[in-house]
Chains A and B, each alone.
Chain A
Amino acid sequence: MMLATFTLPGFPDAAPVDGLIGGGLIGLAAAIMLLGLGRIAGVSGIAAKAAGLGGSGMSRTGAFAFVIGLPLGAFLVMLAGGGGDPSFAGTVPLVIAGVIVGVGTRLGSGCTSGHGVCGMSRLSARSIVATGVFMATGIATVALMNAAGWEVLS
Chain B
Amino acid sequence: MNMRPLIALLSGTIFGAGLTIGGMTDPARVRGFLDLLGDWDPTLAFVMGGALIVMAIAWRFVPGMARPIFEDDFHVPTRNDLTPKLIGGAALFGVGWGIAGLCPGPGFAALAIEPLGAAIFVAAMFGGMGLVRLTER
What residues of chain A have their CB less than 8 Å away from a CB belonging to chain B? 1, 3, 8, 11, 13-41, 43-44, 47-48, 51, 53-55, 57-59, 61-78, 82-84, 86-89, 91, 93-109, 111-113, 115-122, 124-126, 129-131, 133-143, 145-146, 152-153
Contacts and interface: CB of A to CB of B under 8 A. Distances in A.
B125 A102 contact: yes
B1 interface: no
Nearest to A22: B22
A43 B125 CA distance: 12
Contacts of A34: 55, 58-59, 62, 68, 74, 76
Interface string B81-109: 11001111111111111111111110111
Interface of B: 4-29, 31-32, 34-38, 40-59, 61-62, 65, 67-77, 79-82, 85-105, 107-114, 117-118, 120-133, 136
B14 to A, nearest CB: 4
Nearest to B35: A142
Contact of A73 (B15, B49, B55): B15
A93 B99 contact: yes
Contacts of A51: 126, 129-130
B104 A44 contact: yes
A101 to B, nearest CB: 4
Contact of B26 (A29, A86, A91, A116): A86
A71 B42 CA distance: 24
A69 B102 contact: no
A86 B11 contact: no
A74 to B, nearest CB: 4
Contact of B51 (A30, A63, A84): A30
Nearest to A112: B103
Given A74-B113, A117-B52, A97 B102 contact: yes
A104 B109 contact: no
A134 B94 contact: yes
Nearest to B59: A122
A134 B97 contact: yes
Given A70-B105, A138-B98, A106 B21 contact: no
Contacts of B27: 86-89, 153
A89 B68 contact: no
Contact of B95 (A20, A57, A118, A138): A138
A102 B132 contact: yes
Most chain B CB within 10 A, of A23, A35, A58, is at: A23
Given A22-B21, A69-B9, 10 more contacts: A19-B23, A22-B19, A23-B52, A33-B7, A33-B11, A36-B68, A38-B67, A71-B16, A106-B89, A126-B79
